């Protein structure tokens, strides 16, 4: 699990959330049916609808033309309208609607739940594979689930567990692209702040938890079986909205043609002439030592074109071939060496000042990166 989550904070986040979900399921067994139907369910449903609709309004206002934010805004709108309709039906016909735990979920209820769950995958799909989700691909992605739902109406076997499993399968398929996304970001940026893959891992983990609770609901018929999923959905909608508003678009450096290839945009397009490699490497190393462009926290791969007459793909290929690492590792190697030089020359200099002068976005990022590169913290290194 530590290989999946690069930072301990993400690992602790996921463990803590899983423990809370387990405690919530345990607690739900002690909530009376009457209190759940008449108090908790309407309150939680109103809360989720409110959080979703307000969040959609905020995200639409601050979309800034970013497609992944629009995707999330539409997701929030779908959840807000869905839960709002649920509350409306409860007002008009409370008994049939509110006894949600007293009977087995029907096939059409599972279909609606799956469609809502599918909308939660629009955001990670757009981040990991920009522009990939088209109406045609969305239809193809939903067809297997719709086919199983249709089959459930005609076969004597209960296919409800299989139907509820489908959203989890879609989430797991997303994990296939996470590693490629991380590699792509490290090949193009020297700082992963606000584009880091750890947030996506947290988000997908929350979706997996929602999916598991959803599966639990399909095989149990207690009146409080939806308690955990309701508050978990509220948390995901609110927390994710806050996070997504501060995410930047990592694909902004690509042109339209490259966006169509997405994660494969770094595919080889030929080799750099061998006789040019030595000259390019010498020019780059002199520029890095003289100008110290790494001191800019927003330093990115395309900035190398100030000294190297190469396009983005060739620049990435050149860094990998000549230095045996990603652009992220190449630049942060310079930053770490600069930090070591400053700590030796100025033993009393504050960590915050060193991080700024070396191009790190914050002392926390500096400490984390330094520890990752050297195996010890800056303070520990300064005492060696």
Question: For position 299, what pLDDT does the model report?
Answer: 92
Q: Would you give the DSSP letter of residue 245?
A: T
Which tokens go with 356? 């700024």
Cα–Cα distance for residue pair 226/329, rounded to 1 Å: 46
Q: Side-chain half-sphere of 342: how many Cα atoms within 13 Å?
A: 20
Task: Specify if 265 maps to a domain.
Answer: no
Residues 199 and 79 reside in one and the same domain: yes
Task: Specify if 278 maps to a domain.
Answer: yes
Q: What is the CATH number of the domain that holds 111?
A: 1.20.1070
Cα–Cα distance for residue pair 262/128, rounded to 1 Å: 8
| Last-in-domain residue among 251, 280, 314 | 251
User: With 0-12 CB in 10 A as exposed, 13-18 as middle and 19+ as buried, what is 24?
Assistant: middle
Question: For position 259, what pLDDT does the model report?
Answer: 55
Residues 301 and 246 reside in one and the same domain: no
Which stretches within the chain are classed as H helix? 8-28, 33-35, 41-61, 67-92, 94-98, 107-119, 122-128, 135-152, 160-188, 197-219, 227-244, 256-261, 274-291, 312-323, 327-345, 351-358, 363-374, 378-382
Please provide residue 189's backbone torsions phi and psi, each rounded to the nearest 5 degrees.
Answer: -130, 145
Task: Specify if 149 maps to a domain.
Answer: yes
Task: Specify if 190 maps to a domain.
Answer: yes
Cα–Cα distance for residue pair 162/144, rounded to 1 Å: 11
Residues 178 and 40 reside in one and the same domain: yes
Helices 135-152 & 160-188 angle (0-180, nearest 10) = 160
| Last-in-domain residue among 218, 251, 284 | 251
Q: Are 239 and 199 in contact (CB under 8 A)?
A: no
pTM: 0.85
Residues 53 and 188 reside in one and the same domain: yes
Residues 110 and 222 reside in one and the same domain: yes
Residues 198 and 289 reside in one and the same domain: no
Q: Would you give the DSSP letter of residue 300?
A: B
Residues 241 and 315 reside in one and the same domain: no
**For residue 373, what are the CA distances in angstroms to 21, 262, 332, 363, 384?**
36, 29, 9, 15, 16
Task: Specify if 257 maps to a domain.
Answer: no
Residues 64 and 124 reside in one and the same domain: yes
Say which residue the tokens 């409800």 belong to.
Answer: 160
Say which residue the tokens 């609770």 belong to.
Answer: 213
Q: Side-chain half-sphere of 197: how many Cα atoms within 13 Å?
A: 19
Task: Specify if 300 maps to a domain.
Answer: yes
Residue-range definition of the domain harbouring residue 335:
271-382
**pLDDT tens figures, 95-151:** 544 444 445 677 777 888 888 888 999 999 999 988 888 889 888 988 988 888 888
Residues 215 and 361 reside in one and the same domain: no
Say which residue the tokens 């049939």 belong to.
Answer: 96
Task: Specify if 303 maps to a domain.
Answer: yes
Residues 225 and 307 reside in one and the same domain: no
Cα–Cα distance for residue pair 118/318, rounded to 1 Å: 40
Task: Specify if 260 maps to a domain.
Answer: no
Residues 115 and 169 reside in one and the same domain: yes
Residues 186 and 304 reside in one and the same domain: no
Question: For position 98, what pLDDT does the model report?
Answer: 44
- Using CA atoms in the order 31, 24, 37, 161, what is the torsion angle rounded to 10 degrees? -120
Tally of domains within the chain? 2
Low pLDDT (below 70) residues in the chain: 1-8, 93-104, 221-225, 255-275, 384
Q: What is the CATH number of the domain that holds 342?
A: 1.10.10.60
Question: For position 265, what pLDDT does the model report?
Answer: 43
Chain centroid to CA 359: 25
**pLDDT tens figures, 276-331:** 778 888 999 999 999 999 999 999 999 999 998 888 888 888 999 889 999 999 99
């Amino acid at each position: 699990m530590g290989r999946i989550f690069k930072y301990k904070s993400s690992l602790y986040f996921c463990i803590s959330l899983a423990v809370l979900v387990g405690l919530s399921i345990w607690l739900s067994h002690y909530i009376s049916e009457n209190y759940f139907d008449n108090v908790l369910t309407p309150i939680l449903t109103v809360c989720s609808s409110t959080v979703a609709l307000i969040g959609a309004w905020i995200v639409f206002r601050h979309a800034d033309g970013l497609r992944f934010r629009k995707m999330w805004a539409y997701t929030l709108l779908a959840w807000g309208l869905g839960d709002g309709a649920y509350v409306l039906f409860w007002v008009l016909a409370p008994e049939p609607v509110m006894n949600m735990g007293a009977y087995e979920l029907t096939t059409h209820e599972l279909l609606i739940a799956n469609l809502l769950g599918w909308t939660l995958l629009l955001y990670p799909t757009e981040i990991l594979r920009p522009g990939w989700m088209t109406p045609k691909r969305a239809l193809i992605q939903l067809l297997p689930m719709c086919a199983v739902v249709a089959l459930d109406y005609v076969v004597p076997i209960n296919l409800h567990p299989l139907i509820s499993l489908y959203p989890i399968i879609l989430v797991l398929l997303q994990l296939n692209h996470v590693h490629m996304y991380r590699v792509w970001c490290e090949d193009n940026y020297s700082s992963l702040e606000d584009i880091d893959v750890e947030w996506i891992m947290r988000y997908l983990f929350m979706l997996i938890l929602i999916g598991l609770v959803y599966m639990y609901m399909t095989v149990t018929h207690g009146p409080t079986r939806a308690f955990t999923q309701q508050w978990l959905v509220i948390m995901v909608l609110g927390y994710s909205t806050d996070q997504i508003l501060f995410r930047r678009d990592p694909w902004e450096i690509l042109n339209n043609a490259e966006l169509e290839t997405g994660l494969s945009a770094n595919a080889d397009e030929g080799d750099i002439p061998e006789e040019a490699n030595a000259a390019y490497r010498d020019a780059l190393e002199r520029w890095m030592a003289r100008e110290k462009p790494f001191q800019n926290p927003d330093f990115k791969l395309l900035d190398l074109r100030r000294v190297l007459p190469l396009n983005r793909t060739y620049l990435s290929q050149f860094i990998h071939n000549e230095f045996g690492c990603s652009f992220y590792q190449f630049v942060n190697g310079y930053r770490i060496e600069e930090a070591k030089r400053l700590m030796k020359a100025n033993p009393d200099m504050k960590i915050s000042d060193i991080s700024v002068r070396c191009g790190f976005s914050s002392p926390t990022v500096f400490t984390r990166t330094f520890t990752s590169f050297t195996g010890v913290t800056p303070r520990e290194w300064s005492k060696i």
